[in-house]
């Protein structure tokens, strides 16, 4: 049976990756790939995954798909450790109307090498030159590895659909993207998040880095702190699920180019808080900075330094011409941070904020401009609380 369908599989390649028909020799690699925890997390492969499951997939899914022309499946082969090896799967599920949905999985040994990005480009190009009019991509919300691959291959992000994909007996939210034959498929890089660093007036080193899932417990602690909760409109109760949603939202903002969110951290990785440069898609390069701190990071000059680092980066990198900083009139710590960084007072918006206890307070507004920042490079910094 292998010969009858394998002859239907076109070999695709770019000199680095080779897409070919699956063989019996791939069953071991297929099994180990599907036993990986990341596969269980983001796909519907059986768990636990046994060699018999790989055999079923080989005999009952891959082969019939080619014979009936409703699913085109390739094995991804690439040089790993000096020899050609099975590196993953990629397939197209045809709808019979000129469309197809792509699915792919990379073997753990081959991740982070850009191989699946190459494979997806080859498959998309092949599909759209074979008469298909659209290739669709779907993934569970949070599967950033898959989404980055799709973006780099020119897929257009369509949005998030709630409770779209079944997984382990439940419906999960999912992302959707598509690629039309008429679309520009010029490769696009995922936005890079630069790491920034600085030192407080007390000599403490801090870095602004990307958030990771390891930061979730510290986010939960900060969100449940009474001071944080008083000034920020946060979900109640706030637990691990809410922290993961916050991390996904931060990554989504980066991907959409609307906001840049950094974790304020010690050099050894302990999360101290968050700082965000908002309104990146607003006209005239008008931005806004916002931040919060874990309670054990307060009183050390951490937020003051983070605002200075980010403001300086935003102006130097051409990301902003003016930056707004707003704080509740009763939030004396935030007001002092604006003043220490020589943000100019713009005035007060009366009764513009509703606090956690339902009371209203004024919103005090400050701004820094590129012109003032450059002219005031030697600005004094008052002692930090």
pLDDT on residue 193: 81
User: Does 4 sit behind a cis peptide bond, omega within 30 degrees of 0 on the bond before it?
Assistant: no
| Residue given tokens 């636990």 in the structure block | 48
Task: Tell me the pTM.
Answer: 0.78
- Tell me if 174 sits within 8 A of 139, measured CB to CB: yes
- Judged by DSSP in three states, 282 sits in coil
Predicted confidence (pLDDT) at residue 109 exceeds the cutoff of 70: yes
Q: Residue 256 — pLDDT band, cuts 50, 70, 90?
A: confident
112-128 pLDDT, tens digit each: 999 999 999 999 999 99
Predicted confidence (pLDDT) at residue 382 exceeds the cutoff of 70: no
Which residues make up the CATH 3.40.630.30 domain(s) of the chain?
Answer: 2-180, 196-375
Predicted confidence (pLDDT) at residue 151 exceeds the cutoff of 80: yes
Which residues fall within 8 angstroms of residue 129, CB to CB, at 6 or more apart?
Answer: none
pLDDT on residue 380: 39
CATH 3.40.630.30, domain 2-180, yes or no: yes
pLDDT on residue 117: 97
Mean pLDDT for the stretch of residues 107-116? 96
Q: Which residue(s) pair with 156 in the sheet?
A: 178
Q: Which residue(s) pair with 291 in the sheet?
A: 275
Which residues fall within 8 angstroms of residue 195, CB to CB, at 6 or more apart?
Answer: 207, 208, 209, 210
pLDDT on residue 188: 74
Mean pLDDT for the stretch of residues 13-36? 97
Q: Residue 378 — pLDDT band, cuts 50, 70, 90?
A: low
189-240 pLDDT, tens digit each: 777 789 999 999 999 999 999 999 999 999 999 999 999 999 998 998 999 9
Q: Residue 255 — pLDDT band, cuts 50, 70, 90?
A: confident
4-18 pLDDT, tens digit each: 899 999 999 999 999
CATH 3.40.630.30, domain 196-375, yes or no: yes
Question: Using DSSP, how many helices (H) and how many strands (E) does the chain show?
Answer: 13, 16
CA 271 to chain centre: 18
Q: Average per-residue pLDDT in the chain?
A: 93
pLDDT on residue 383: 33
Instruction: Region of 9 please: left (phi>0), alpha (psi -120 to 50) or beta.
Output: beta
E-strand ranges in 168-253 read: 170-180, 196-199, 205-209
Predicted confidence (pLDDT) at residue 381 exceeds the cutoff of 50: no
Predicted confidence (pLDDT) at residue 257 exceeds the cutoff of 90: no
């Amino acid at each position: 049976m292998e010969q009858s369908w394998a002859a239907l599989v076109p070999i695709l390649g770019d000199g680095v990756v080779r897409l070919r028909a699956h063989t019996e020799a791939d069953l071991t690699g297929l099994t180990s790939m599907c036993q990986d925890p990341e596969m269980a997390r983001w796909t519907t492969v059986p768990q636990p995954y046994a060699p018999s499951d790989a055999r079923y997939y080989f005999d009952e899914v891959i082969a019939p798909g080619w014979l009936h022309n409703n699913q085109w499946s390739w094995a991804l082969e690439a040089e790993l450790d000096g020899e050609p090896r099975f590196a993953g799967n990629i397939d197209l599920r045809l709808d019979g109307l000129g469309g197809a949905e792509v699915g792919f999985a990379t073997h753990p040994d081959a991740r982070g090498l850009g191989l699946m990005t190459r494979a997806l480009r080859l498959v998309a190009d092949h599909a759209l030159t074979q008469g298909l009019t659209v290739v669709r991509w779907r993934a569970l919300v949070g599967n950033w590895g898959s989404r980055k691959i799709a973006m780099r291959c020119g897929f257009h992000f369509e949005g998030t659909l709630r409770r779209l994909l079944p997984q382990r007996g439940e419906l999960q939210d999912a992302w959707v993207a598509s690629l039309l034959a008429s679309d520009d498929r010029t490769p696009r890089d995922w936005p890079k998040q630069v790491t920034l660093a600085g030192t407080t007036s007390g000599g403490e080193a801090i870095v602004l880095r990307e958030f990771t899932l390891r930061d979730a417990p510290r986010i939960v602690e900060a969100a449940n702190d009474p001071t944080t909760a008083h000034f920020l409109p946060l979900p109640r109760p706030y637990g691990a699920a809410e922290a993961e949603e916050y991390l996904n939202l931060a990554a989504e903002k980066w991907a959409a180019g609307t906001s840049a969110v950094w974790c304020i951290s010690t050099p050894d990785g302990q999360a101290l808080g968050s700082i965000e440069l908002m309104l990146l898609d607003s006209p005239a390069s008008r931005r806004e900075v916002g931040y919060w701190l874990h309670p054990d990071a307060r009183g050390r000059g951490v937020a003051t330094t983070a605002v200075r680092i980010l403001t300086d980066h935003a102006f130097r990198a051409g990301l902003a011409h003016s930056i707004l900083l707003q704080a509740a009139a009763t939030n004396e710590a935030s007001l002092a941070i604006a003043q220490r960084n020589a943000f100019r007072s713009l005035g007060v918006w009366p009764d513009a904020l509703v606090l956690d206890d339902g009371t209203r307070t004024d919103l005090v507004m400050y701004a820094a401009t590129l012109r003032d920042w450059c002219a005031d490079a030697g600005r004094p910094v008052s002692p930090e609380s």
